[in-house]
């Protein structure tokens, strides 16, 4: 393992945690960013056990100064940034006509603008290391629907943002891609199913079984499967892949 440094946001749970632990096999140091210190510390212990040195930063990336803090503290601790994986950002699944201004602003501030600011803050070091950036979007970018309009809208914006960064990255030597996961079984999805089930007169078990059938997939994805894709995108094997949007969804999207 060479001296290399990755920043992973949303590292306290789900895909972010799985990605941080997976990257510990390939990177010597991982900066872990999220708001939940207790869960971040648990991720840090797993990263250490996997062979990398963690830096824990319990920051809210929706706060404007946070992005610069992440970049500055990573450089102070490790001297460089080789990869940035923007995974943070839970967007509420609220109907288009019911979502409040505050909910829209909060979702945009973290998932879109937090990722944008952090990419800009880390960019000078990424240029030096000829590094890689991955933006986390989601399948809903391809089919925004009224019951969860913000999720689709913000995910579509992230795909466009990643494409814009990749265009600059061609000149600057920074590789940028985005990932669209399908239905992945995370703690957040379990919470959603627990809330959704009684509203539709189902048990949680019935609701959990029903969704894959309706989506036309054989099963939910696992966070570790998305983490493997993220690890590939910041590996030497993917160096000629930039400006791409990769979908990993078990076949949920039926169009070409």
Q: Please give the Cα distance from 73 to 101 (Å, whole number).
A: 33
Q: CATH homologous superfamily of domain 5-184+221-240?
A: NAD(P)-binding Rossmann-like Domain (3.40.50.720)
What is the pLDDT, as a whole number, of residue 1? 47
pLDDT digits (tens, 9 = 90+) for 76-94: 999 999 999 999 998 888 8
User: Mean pLDDT, the chain, as a whole number?
Assistant: 95
| Residue 225 · residue 249 · CB < 8 Å | no
The alpha-carbon radius of gyration of the chain (Å, integer) is: 18
Instruction: Look at the pTM and tell me if it is higher than 0.75.
Output: yes
User: Mean pLDDT, to the nearest integer, of 125-146?
Assistant: 96
Q: Please give the Cα distance from 96 to 103 (Å, whole number).
A: 11
Number of alpha helices (DSSP H) and beta strands (DSSP E) in the chain: 9, 7
Domain ranges in the chain are 5-184+221-240, 185-219
What is the pLDDT, as a whole number, of residue 2? 58
Task: Quote the distance between the C-alpha of residue 183 and its chain's center.
Answer: 14
């Amino acid at each position: 393992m060479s001296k290399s440094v990755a920043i992973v946001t949303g590292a306290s749970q789900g895909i972010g945690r799985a990605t941080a632990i997976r990257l510990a096999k390939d990177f010597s140091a991982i900066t872990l960013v999220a708001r939940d210190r207790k869960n971040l510390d648990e991720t840090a212990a797993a990263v250490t056990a996997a062979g990398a040195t963690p830096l824990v930063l319990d920051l809210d990336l929706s706060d404007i100064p946070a992005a610069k803090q992440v970049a500055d503290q990573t450089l102070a601790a490790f001297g460089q940034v080789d990869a940035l994986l923007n995974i943070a950002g839970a967007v509420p699944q609220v109907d288009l006509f019911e979502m409040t201004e505050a909910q829209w602003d909060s979702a945009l501030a973290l998932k879109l603008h937090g990722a944008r600011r952090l990419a800009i803050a880390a960019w000078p070091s990424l240029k030096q290391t000829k590094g890689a950036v991955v933006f986390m979007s989601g399948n809903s970018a391809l089919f925004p629907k009224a019951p969860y309009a913000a999720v689709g809208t913000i995910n579509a914006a992230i795909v466009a943002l990643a494409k814009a960064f990749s265009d600059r990255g061609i000149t600057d030597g920074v590789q940028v891609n985005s990932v669209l996961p399908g239905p992945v079984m995370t703690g957040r999805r379990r919470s959603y199913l627990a809330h959704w089930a009684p509203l539709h007169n189902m048990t949680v078990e019935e609701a959990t079984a029903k969704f894959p059938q309706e989506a036309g997939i054989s099963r939910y994805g696992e966070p570790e499967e998305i983490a493997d894709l993220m690890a590939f995108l910041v590996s030497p094997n993917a160096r000629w892949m930039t400006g791409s949007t990769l979908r990993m969804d078990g076949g949920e999207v039926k169009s070409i």
